[in-house]
Chains A and B, each alone.
Chain A
Amino acid sequence: MRLMDAIIQNKIRYLEQHAPPVLSSGLPLLDELLEGGLHEGELSEWGMPWGQGLRELLLPFLAAAQRKDYWILWIYGQSKICVNPLAWKARAVDLNRIRFAQSEHALRDLRPVFLSDFFRLIVIDQSKQLSDEDCAFLARQARRLRQSILILKPYALSHTQGNVWARLRVNCGQDLQSRMFRAELLKGRHPKQLLFSTRQWMESNSHNNEF
């Protein structure tokens, strides 16, 4: 039994030493949901319907990544819109270390960024349907280059079917009438659901505000 205990302890120590670095947002709400934060080298999928203010939930991760001197790339698939940099800056995103790109076909138009370790955090927001092969490629590259790649979908993710290559899957939503955020973990950590109000979010995020 003592031998077994020793083997188990060694294994745990090995896993702890070789665990992927975690990108913590610094906000207890989010870090509690993700059990520490985003893992580097991980492909994650987020169900974030458009127009519900949900992308704000990711900005603390961007700010945290930039504090580690990482470069961020946000690829948005919507046409006829443009980025509002003042709003991003006000939410503690450093405009000097982030780039944006408008593309509906991220892998076709921007493939070299996924083959380089320059951008350590890449968000693919509403790209056209990614095939299994594309997702496999993204997962492989994320692991190899220690990138965090986030795929944002404009709808709630299914509980039963989904991206097998994503190690983390999260559904987010907001009840616009009651102003309550909802985040539900589908895969990658212990299943849990989190409900918090806009006020709780603002209070939690207050230290990240630039002013």
Chain B
Amino acid sequence: MKAIIPFPQHEPGLLPAETACFLAVRSHAAKSLEQLQALTPRIMQWDADSRILDLRLCSAFWQYQARRQNQSLLECLQSELDELFAGQTYHAAFAETPWQAVLLLSLLEEMQIPGFTSKTSRFGSNIMRSLSWEIWWQCAATYAEQSRAHKKAEMSSFLQQKGAMELTMRRLGLKSPMQHQFLPSSQIKRRFGSLIAEIWEQTFAKAESSSLDAFPWRFMSFCENPRIQRHLDFSTNDWSTVEAYLADDLNRLCLLDSFKKGERILQLEWMIVLCNLQEIPVSILFRHPHSLHDESPYQRTALLQISYSFQKLWQKLQNHDELRIISWTLEVKEKIRPRMRQATLFHESRDDWHALMNLENMLLKPLEAYQLKEDWVPEDSFTISSGAQSPSRSSLRSLLQLGRTRPLFLYQTPQRILPQSSQTKTLWNFHERTMEKWWRRRGLTRNYYQFTRDAEMLWVFRDTYGEYFAQGVYA
């Protein structure tokens, strides 16, 4: 019986460089380290001279910056760091997980390779392969210290387990952690404890792995979050009433000493108190860093985003009339601090990209932008636009010739069809043959046809097993 191999749900994938969102930086230039806040508000002090940056919150913004400057994301970040450190020596590692960024950083320092290196590059991945037990244990000790601060681990038991694992690895002749990534973390946990298993798992985790949540994050707090509180003399659930007061509160936020003109917010928290004293936190995220000062006094963008959250919240509360707001606190949770030199990040040019970012900040739904990849498989032929390298000229010509016969829209998951069951006349027009990636679905070939039946034209392929799937529609 032929097995039907399910298709994974298609999401327009990110290129490997764009799945990386964590930067580890080491330098003796303390002042420059402080200025890393210009890249993201989420910074953790790993040790005295090292910082780990979580760029997830503003990854969309950095991709835009890269496209604006006609650079790849990596080039953009590298130029930012070069400007921040202004000739001083630094080591920076960019990776898909924070722990891998830390490991790569240590390797770069040991090999005395200054500057910016990405684990997703060939150079970076080769360096990672040379990871030794010594460096792994050095970093793991720091990890354990950070976890201890989280009250997750006792150092003495960690040291004991470390000794046991070192001995085991030596006896087994295992020369490097990277050669043995298939050792299951459950077995490591059984023998050497949960902390070492956690560190082991993080060493080989992918970007989308849930083990990222286990990383002992402790973000630095540079100053008190700007906060405004409001108590109403009446209770209300009417948006127009709330909106007027919120606009006033947003303007009052701009006047606080803890919120400087030029700072950009990424996240607001609106803590609502209802008449039954129930507190409900509402998180308001901005796709790109947003300036409240620039939009004073109308605060259109912020009010739009808050209104979307308000409507969603009221739907969730099932529009109960008796649930009315009596007070709230508006707090800036995440903001980016500007650099003194405004060469690139906050250069206030009013070009199309700036206008597009401002517009995107106002929208409930995101706008999709795509770029091509050098790949013949239809679902892999594109990615979310990020300024990464486009296909070469010679490949592009072939790709476009192929694209001419392909439909404008694809189904997210190819749908199995039974073409023989149709009562009406059908037409088949062969278009192309392609091969799937052997490591994904065992090297199946696909013969693509334009399949016309009834009143629609579908883009259908027949796989090696003779099954038919509709992958696109000629809209």
Contact = CB atoms under 8 A, between A and B. Distances in A.
Contacts, number: 148
B400 A55 contact: no
A81 B363 contact: no
Contact of A82 (B385, B402, B406, B412): B412
Given A55-B408, A110-B365, A50 B371 contact: no
Contact of A50 (B363, B385, B401, B473): B473
Nearest to A175: B455
Interface stretch (A11-19, A31-39, A96-104, A185-193): A96-104
B363 A112 contact: yes
A85 B364 contact: no
Interface string A67-92: 00001010010101111111111110
A73 B363 contact: no
Contacts of B412: 80-82
Interface residues of A, number: 45
B408 A88 contact: yes
A6 to B, nearest CB: 46
A73 B141 CA distance: 52
Interface stretch (B39-47, B170-178, B332-340, B351-359): B351-359
Interface in A162-196: 176-177
A52 B408 contact: no
Given A81-B411, A83-B370, A87-B407, A53 B475 contact: yes
Contacts of A100: 367-370
Please indicate which of the listed interface residues B362, B403, B410 has the most CB atoms of chain A within 10 Å of its own CB: B403
B366 A101 contact: yes
Contacts of A204: none
B365 A102 contact: yes
Interface string B456-475: 11100000000000001111
Nearest to A81: B409
A113 B363 contact: yes
A10 interface: no
Given A80-B412, A109-B363, A176-B427, A87 B385 contact: no
A87 B407 CA distance: 6
What is the interface of chain A mostly: helix, strand, loop, or mixed? mixed
A9 interface: no
B452 interface: yes
A154 B74 CA distance: 43
A73 B368 CA distance: 10
B60 interface: no
Given A50-B475, A118-B356, A80 B365 contact: no
A52 B474 CA distance: 6
A33 to B, nearest CB: 20
Contacts of B408: 55-56, 83-84, 87-88, 91
Contacts of B397: 211
> Closest 6 interchain pairs by CB?
A51-B456, A90-B403, A86-B403, A85-B370, A112-B362, A53-B474
Given A53-B474, A82-B410, 5 more contacts: A96-B385, A101-B367, A102-B365, A112-B359, A176-B427
5 contacts: A53-B457, A87-B403, A89-B403, A90-B402, A118-B352
